[in-house]
Protein backbone atom coordinates (compact mmCIF):
# COMPACT_ATOMS: atom_id res chain seq x y z
CA UNK A 1 0.00 0.00 0.00
CA UNK A 2 1.33 3.42 -0.87
CA UNK A 3 2.31 5.58 2.07
CA UNK A 4 0.81 9.02 2.50
CA UNK A 5 4.11 10.60 1.47
CA UNK A 6 4.26 8.65 -1.76
CA UNK A 7 0.65 9.51 -2.52
CA UNK A 8 1.41 13.14 -2.10
CA UNK A 9 4.34 12.78 -4.44
CA UNK A 10 2.10 11.17 -7.03
CA UNK A 11 -0.33 14.04 -6.66
CA UNK A 12 2.48 16.53 -7.07
CA UNK A 13 3.82 14.88 -10.21
CA UNK A 14 0.31 14.68 -11.66
CA UNK A 15 -0.19 18.37 -10.97
CA UNK A 16 3.13 19.15 -12.66
CA UNK A 17 2.23 17.11 -15.74
CA UNK A 18 -1.18 18.74 -15.92
CA UNK A 19 0.54 22.11 -15.76
CA UNK A 20 2.83 21.20 -18.65
CA UNK A 21 -0.14 19.94 -20.65
CA UNK A 22 -2.04 23.18 -20.08
CA UNK A 23 1.01 25.17 -21.12
CA UNK A 24 1.25 23.31 -24.41
CA UNK A 25 -2.49 23.71 -25.02
CA UNK A 26 -2.56 27.44 -24.27
CA UNK A 27 0.49 28.10 -26.44
CA UNK A 28 -1.56 26.80 -29.33
CA UNK A 29 0.10 23.47 -30.10
CA UNK A 30 -3.35 21.94 -30.67
CA UNK A 31 -4.77 24.94 -32.49
CA UNK A 32 -6.56 28.15 -31.56
CA UNK A 33 -9.93 26.75 -30.41
CA UNK A 34 -8.17 24.42 -27.96
CA UNK A 35 -5.95 27.27 -26.82
CA UNK A 36 -8.96 29.42 -25.99
CA UNK A 37 -10.71 26.53 -24.27
CA UNK A 38 -7.57 25.63 -22.36
CA UNK A 39 -7.12 29.22 -21.23
CA UNK A 40 -10.71 29.48 -20.04
CA UNK A 41 -10.54 26.17 -18.16
CA UNK A 42 -7.21 27.07 -16.55
CA UNK A 43 -8.32 30.52 -15.44
CA UNK A 44 -11.64 29.28 -14.09
CA UNK A 45 -9.84 26.47 -12.32
CA UNK A 46 -7.38 28.92 -10.80
CA UNK A 47 -10.17 31.17 -9.60
CA UNK A 48 -12.00 28.20 -8.09
CA UNK A 49 -8.89 26.95 -6.29
CA UNK A 50 -8.14 30.40 -4.91
CA UNK A 51 -11.67 30.78 -3.58
CA UNK A 52 -12.38 27.26 -2.34
CA UNK A 53 -9.11 26.60 -0.56
CA UNK A 54 -8.51 29.15 2.19
CA UNK A 55 -4.92 30.15 2.77
CA UNK A 56 -3.43 28.90 6.00
CA UNK A 57 -1.84 30.76 8.88
CA UNK A 58 1.88 31.24 8.46
CA UNK A 59 3.85 28.95 10.74
CA UNK A 60 7.42 29.79 9.72
Is residue 43 a contact residue for other proteins (CB under 8 A)?
Answer: yes
Q: Is 15 in the site for other proteins (CB under 8 A)?
A: yes
What is the C-alpha to C-alpha distance for residues 52 and 23, in angstroms, rounded to an integer? 23
CB contact at 8 A, 26 and 35: yes
Is 13 among the residues that bind other proteins (CB under 8 A)? no
CA–CA distance, 42 with 26 (Å, rounded to integer):
9
What is the binding site for other proteins (CB under 8 A)?
A: 8, 12, 15-16, 18-19, 22-24, 26-31, 35-36, 39, 42-43, 45-47, 49-50, 53, 55-60
Amino acid sequence: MKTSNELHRVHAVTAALLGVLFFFIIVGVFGLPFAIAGLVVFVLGAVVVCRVFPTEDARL
